[in-house]
Amino acid sequence: MRLVIAQCEVDYVGRLTARLAPARRLLLIKADGSVLVHSDGGSYKPLNWMSPPCWLEERDEDGKRVWVVTNKAGEELRITLHDVEHDSSHELGVDPGLIKDGVEAHLQELLAEHINTLGDGYTLVRREFPTAIGPVDILCRNADGASVAVEIKRRGDIDGVEQLTRYLELLNRDPLLAPVSGVFAAQQIKPQARTLAVDRGIRCLTLDYDALRGTESTEFRLF
C-alpha cells in the first residue's frame, strides 16, 4: 500500500463530474489498484475513489505533478499534487480476513445443531467448509440430496450476498458438489440485500437467535 499526504485538488469525469478544491488530504493506492482520497473527517468513507480494475499514470503537466486514474468504463480521476508532505509504500501481506464476533459464530454453531431450521430433510455436511477464497459457513444437503451453501450474518447486507455469490460460483465448478444452491441467513436482512439475493436465486432466511437457543424471546414484552 502506498500512502501519500499532500495538498491536492481532485477532478472526476465520468457518469457525472465532481471536483474537490485544493486541500490537504490522504491518498491511498492499494495493491489491488484502487485509489482513494480521504480527508481528516467523514469517518471511513473516502471523498472520492476509483475501484479496480483501474490504472494509475503519473504525469508532469506544466510543471505540476498529476495522477491520472482511468478504468475500462472510460471514467477518469485526476489528482493534481501541489505539495507532497509524505510518500511511502508498505507491504501489508495477505490479510487473514475478518474474525467473526461471538454472536455470529454462535449463530453458525446453533444453525448447524438445528439444521432442520433450513427445512425438513436437511443434513449437515460441514461447518466452515473450505474453498480457495475462504470458508463457507455451512455446507449441507437438502431433502433431495442436493448441496446447499449457507452464509450467516447478524445483519445481512449486499456485501454478504456478494460473498455468498462468489462461494456459489466456485462450488458449482466442483462436479462432486454441483449443483449448489445458496441460503443467505441473518437475524436482519436489509431490503436491498433481499432483492439482490432473490434476483440471483438465493433463498433468504431470517434467524431467530432466541428460538435457536431454545429460549423464549423477550422482545416487545415488559414482564
Report the share of the chain in percent with pLDDT over 70: 93
CA distance 189 to 191: 6
**Range(s) of the chain covered by CATH 2.70.180.20:** 2-89
Q: What is the CATH number of domain 2-89?
A: 2.70.180.20
Residue 223 has pLDDT above 80, yes or no: no
pLDDT given at position 189: 95
What is the reported pLDDT for 99? 56
* pLDDT at res. 42: 72
Amino acid at 182: G
Among 158, 167, 153, CA closest to 198: 158
Kindly state the helix (H) or strand (E) to which residue 166 belongs, with its residue range. Answer: helix 158-171
pTM exceeds 0.85: no
Q: What is the pLDDT of residues 20-59, one digit of tens each?
A: 999 999 999 998 899 999 999 877 789 999 988 999 999 9
- Say what the pLDDT of residue 221 is: 43
**Where along the chain do the CATH 3.40.1350.10 domains lie?**
102-213
Q: Model confidence over 69-110: pLDDT tens digits? A: 999 989 999 999 999 999 999 998 877 765 555 477 888 999
In angstroms and rounded to an integer, the radius of gyration of the C-alpha atoms of the chain is 23
Please state, in angstroms and rounded to a whole number, the distance separating the CA atoms of residues 135 and 132.
8
- 37 DSSP assignment: E
Q: Are strands 147-156 and 180-189 parallel, antiparallel or unpaired?
A: parallel
Pick the residue with more confidence: 223 or 178?
178
User: With left for phi above 0 and alpha for psi between -120 and 50, is residue 145 left, alpha or beta?
Assistant: left
Task: Give pLDDT, residue 97.
Answer: 66
CB atoms within 10 A of CB 40: 8
Tell me which of 3.20.20.70, 3.30.420.40, 3.40.1350.10, 3.40.50.1820 is the CATH number of domain 102-213.
3.40.1350.10
Phi-psi region of 74 (alpha: psi -120 to 50; beta: other; left: phi over 0): left
Q: Is residue 215 predicted with pLDDT exceeding 60? A: no
Cα–Cα dist 24/84, whole Å? 9
Q: Which residues contact 113 (CB under 8 A, 6 or more apart)?
A: none
**pLDDT, mean over the chain:** 90
Q: Is the pLDDT of residue 219 over 50?
A: no
